[in-house]
Structure 1
Amino acid sequence: MTTTVIVAGGSSGIGRGVCERLGRQGWNVAVAYHRSGRQAAEIAAGIQQAGGAAIAVRADVTCRADVSALFDRAQEAFGGIDALVNCAGVSAVRSIADSDDALVAEQIGVNLLGSLYGMQEAAGRLRPGGSIVNVSSSAVTVGIPGFGLTLAAKAGVEALTRVLAKELGSRGVRVNAVAPGLLDTPTFRAGKTDQDLQRFAAQVPLQRLGEVEEVTAAIVYLLSPEASWVNAQVLRVNGGYL
């Protein structure tokens, strides 16, 4: 039986890396996206051209009905679901005092409720022995000014991860999270000089920024049989920083 995964936020960044890597390993992949339909379709097509099976599905993770429909579509296409990866996320730099209702709704909606809705749906849909991996942030442990809403949401994701792992353990379904540190991505590079990037890299014990592929590898590990005894954990993939 081929293993099936839904990757929320699968059209870019870490989510894209997970889709492509699992596709190469022979998984059925549901690439879930919100706005980047063209990118998601390209990812699915690439997996198909390499001999794998993949579909692109639009879903607003802040809408419970959309998340339910996403799982319906994956089940219709592949016959069952074995794993969920919650990669959908947004970030904004704003002090807590200056965060208006719209920003609160966006940050909590996508980063916390989006993961919650996915976990709730997966709890009743994953086949026995399945796995859920959520994406948090290593910055949760320190608190960085300007990122209060994002980190509050991610802290909630970590709490839900630990609780759901215990609630689903009797079915053999594992729930873990990965918390990346500073990654060398276009989003992180935006607005920064080479000197800025060097300064950030110097703060990491390994003296460099992380690569998306390194976080992707950690997620794929947690989904794999090699991690069969890893449950209710938050794996901090950050080079020792934070």
Structure 2
Amino acid sequence: MSLKIYIVEDEPLIVTTIKIALKKNNFEVIGCSGGYVKAIKEIKESQPDLVLLDIQLTGIKDGVHVAQELDVLNINYLFLTSQSDPSTIARVSLTSPLGYIVKPFTEAGLISNIELAKNKINSNQKEFIKIKQDGRTIAINQAHIQYLKAFDNYCYIHTATEKFLVSHTLKHIAEQLNPSRFVQSHRSYWINIDKYRSSSFKHINIDGHDIPLSNTYKDIIMSMINE
């Protein structure tokens, strides 16, 4: 798989450096921009496999704002980052990048991080579950699932952009999920541990959603988070 890459960076010299390195290593650059509005518009149109995203952009909206939109769009990205202030770091912690490329970077470091991201993308693409919805068969990427919720003998599957009601039990659907990614948090909920944000005594936050957390499953979940 050859990745289609979009660059969001407002320093022309860095953009040129990245483009040269990507071309040398047979990656396709399908666009670039230095600001939020143009980036989001072109990314929606071009649907890249990976976005290289500078955190500190000029303008009202920075790279973290772009990342939040990419999370909703389920588009993969790597942050380009130098040292940031604590408030920016706190905001970054609420997003879901595939990794970080620290500035200043070498060509070897850039390409190795992109190769690691490529492996993650390829792995994620292999993990789909198929459900029936309105007479159609829909394949859902497990990496996009936030959590599952029981509803009598049915089950809701929640992603960042959609909610599916499936005519199977929570247990039946959970058995199809990757056990290294998904874990039960409550008798009525399974969560994607990759979407973990924070936890409290009775809840675990998954991409901004507070999900019930039972004592029965707390130790297992905390162990997975620590790992």
Coarse TM-score class (shorter-chain normalised): 0.3 to 0.5
Q: TM-score, normalised by structure 2?
A: 0.42
Q: TM-score, normalised by structure 1?
A: 0.40
Asked which structure has the greater RCO (Cα within 8 Å, sep 6+), the reply is 1
Higher share in helix: 1
User: Which is higher, the Rg of structure 1 or of structure 2?
Assistant: 2
Higher share in strand: 2
